[in-house]
Chains A and B, each alone.
Chain A
Amino acid sequence: MSDETLALPGDALREGVVSALRDALGADLLDSLIKPNDDVWVRVSGEAWQQAGRVLRDTVGCDYFCFLSAIDWMPSPYGKSEDDPTAPTPERSTEIVQGYAGGSTRFQVFARVTNLSKHFGVTIKADVADEALAVDTWIPVYAGANWHERECHEMFGIGFTGHPDLRNMYLPTDFEGHPLRKDFPLLARIIKPWPGLADVEPLPGGDDDEEGAES
């Protein structure tokens, strides 16, 4: 293999992505982050979600649809679901802190598309306001978004305006709640509380001594 096929996409390409989006969207491009020699994140407003997809496909040349999903940035009120049910619930932080490229809402929709000829991917996020939990569908831009949006709607309760068929994929139709939201408890851990790390029995011929020396 020649070095050209393995050539890494330069950061100039990533900056090109950001400037193309800024030209097309203006103030709707809220933030961006380029990690040198690694990846690029952009954040757009919820209203510009579909248009941003079009820009990525047509101007930036990201014609390959990788995935679409959402993140709930609220810290889980259940922690790691390892609480002792008899003890009082410990105090937990409820501060919402978003990740790369910032954010201002609890929910963010994010997707990843790839430019197959220039070998780079873009992660794009959009803020979704709690009051109107919906963005425009990406189906006219990337047909493959159909199932991903259905899954996202089911798991996070985020609507996709213009999606023809937001039926549940996995859960029964009358299922209540959205399982991947942080405030949805992991039911298995409620039915039978987590025994806790202290209960793990030491293995026969325990290997504490040898492995402890390693690190």
Chain B
Amino acid sequence: MTDIADRQKLSYIAAQAADARLNVELETEGMTLNIGPQHPATHGTLRIIVRLDGEQVIWAEPSAGYMHRGYEKLTEVRTFPQVTALVNRIDWLGSFANEVPFILAAEKLMDIEAPARAQHIRTILFELSRIANVSLFLGDLGVQLGAVTPVFMAFRDREHVLNLIESATGGRFHPNFDRIGGLKDDLPAGFITECKQVMKKLRNFCDEMEDLLFGNEIFQSRLRGIGVIPAEVAKQYGLSGANLRASGVDWDLRRDQKLPLAYDKVEWKVWTHPDGDCFARCWIRLQETREATKIVDQLLDTMPSGPVMAKVPRIIKVPEGEAFVSTENPLGEMGYYVVSKGDLGPFRVKIRSASFNNVSIVPWVLRGVYVPDVISILASLYFILGDIDR
């Protein structure tokens, strides 16, 4: 471990000194390079403009907004139940997880709580979205670093999870299943046995990934000590999720706040990593996928009986008030600040999405790194375009 820590320190110092040194020692002209908007390494249409001196980045600026859909404005002309259909499309790989904090905020304002069974199923579907999302990340990570096999394995096993989500909700990508006061439906017959088998497969997938990718020397040398984000900086930029925990901050909204979800009924562990480099971020996500399968397994065993929907009026009017609810989504902290004026729809919704904050650190973290590391860092920060632009 000391070996890694030293390397990390050196690369961190090198990165910090880079632009100062370039200005003093080398009187060269930089070159501007556009990465994206259509570069395969950018997860969609994020454009990153970097200014290079030789192989070193002097300055970098992400240019977001190629997918801005104006959800904050659109929510103002929707009713509360209609909003979930919109927010589904923010982080499209973990759609169900986007609905939950909004519904919880509305329930908080209305002062109702979903029945225990609905909370349980919500948590299960929430964790399934996490697994579907992060397993794709693990595969995609390989592709970005030049390893093609992992992505096929990821798609193979993610398919099982999507099938599960489809069997319960009817939608593979956009379930739109969460309702104010509970869920649209109960789980289908046979879901529990099927789900347990899939969780076993996913744990195998995690083991495979750990051997194939994380144990690989090339993989490690591409990620270890690269893109180090110290805890203080991470907190200032509002990094969340695995990115924050990889910097050694023990913070997980599933554990550290009281929400009407079933996380306090199961045993699980919040993983942190002291290094704060690309490897730490990826490693945390791998562990979290495994942890999520354990959460799902335990929840399936302790499923309470009862209804999945509380008594709510047919036409939902949310009382006047303001509430902020955020949950630990696959990408990080996803929250909604909902202002209601006692109407059918919200007066204002501020969507606090994880990737927006996670990507805003890119100008800071890319300064002084080398071009191949740009790709490693972007891959390890893990963002979804819809989650940046909203």
Q: Which residues of A contact B (CB under 8 A)?
A: 1, 5-6, 8, 38-39, 41, 63-67, 69, 71-72, 76, 80-82, 97, 99-100, 110, 112, 116, 119, 121, 123, 142-144, 146-148, 155, 168-171, 179-180, 186, 189, 211-212, 214-215
**Cβ–Cβ < 8 Å partners of B345 in chain A:** 80
Known: A65-B238, A142-B236, A211-B314. 20 other contacts (CB 8 A): A39-B323, A41-B322, A63-B235, A63-B236, A65-B237, A66-B326, A67-B352, A69-B350, A71-B348, A99-B320, A99-B322, A100-B322, A121-B324, A144-B237, A144-B357, A155-B72, A169-B64, A170-B65, A171-B65, A180-B72
Q: Contacting A112 at CB < 8 Å: which of B72, B232, B337, B361?
A: B337
Q: Is B19 an interface residue (CB 8 A)?
A: no
Binary A-proximity of B221-235 (CB < 8 A = 1, otherwise 0): 000000000001101
A-B contact pairs, 23 of them (CB 8 A): A6-B255, A64-B251, A65-B357, A67-B238, A72-B348, A76-B76, A80-B77, A80-B345, A81-B77, A82-B77, A116-B235, A123-B324, A123-B337, A142-B238, A144-B357, A146-B360, A148-B360, A180-B72, A186-B73, A186-B74, A186-B76, A189-B77, A214-B314
Question: Knowing A69-B337, A180-B72, A186-B77 touch, does A143 contact B65 (C-beta < 8 A)?
Answer: no
Q: Is B217 an interface residue (CB 8 A)?
A: no
Contact residues on B (Cβ < 8 Å of other chain), bracket: 35 or more
Looking at chain B's contact residues, the main secondary structure is mixed
**Cβ–Cβ < 8 Å partners of B320 in chain A:** 99
Lowest 4 CB-CB distances: which A-B pairs, in order? A144-B237, A170-B65, A170-B68, A65-B238
**Which residues of chain B from 150 to 174 have a CB within 8 Å of any chain A CB?**
none
Question: Knowing A41-B322, A80-B345, A189-B77 touch, does A67 contact B350 (C-beta < 8 A)?
Answer: yes
Q: Which residues of B contact A (CB under 8 A)?
A: 64-65, 68, 70, 72-74, 76-77, 108, 232-233, 235-238, 249, 251, 255-258, 264, 267, 311-314, 320-324, 326, 333, 335, 337, 339, 341, 344-345, 348, 350, 352, 356-357, 360-361, 364, 389
**Cβ–Cβ < 8 Å partners of A143 in chain B:** 233, 236-237, 364
Contact B360 A147 (CB under 8 A): yes
**Docked CA distance A19–B146 (Å):** 55
Q: In chain B, what residue has the closest Cβ to A8?
A: B258
**Docked CA distance A147–B64 (Å):** 10
Q: In chain B, what residue has the closest Cβ to A211?
A: B314
**Cβ–Cβ < 8 Å partners of B360 in chain A:** 144, 146-148
Contact A169 B236 (CB under 8 A): no
**Cβ–Cβ < 8 Å partners of B77 in chain A:** 80-82, 186, 189
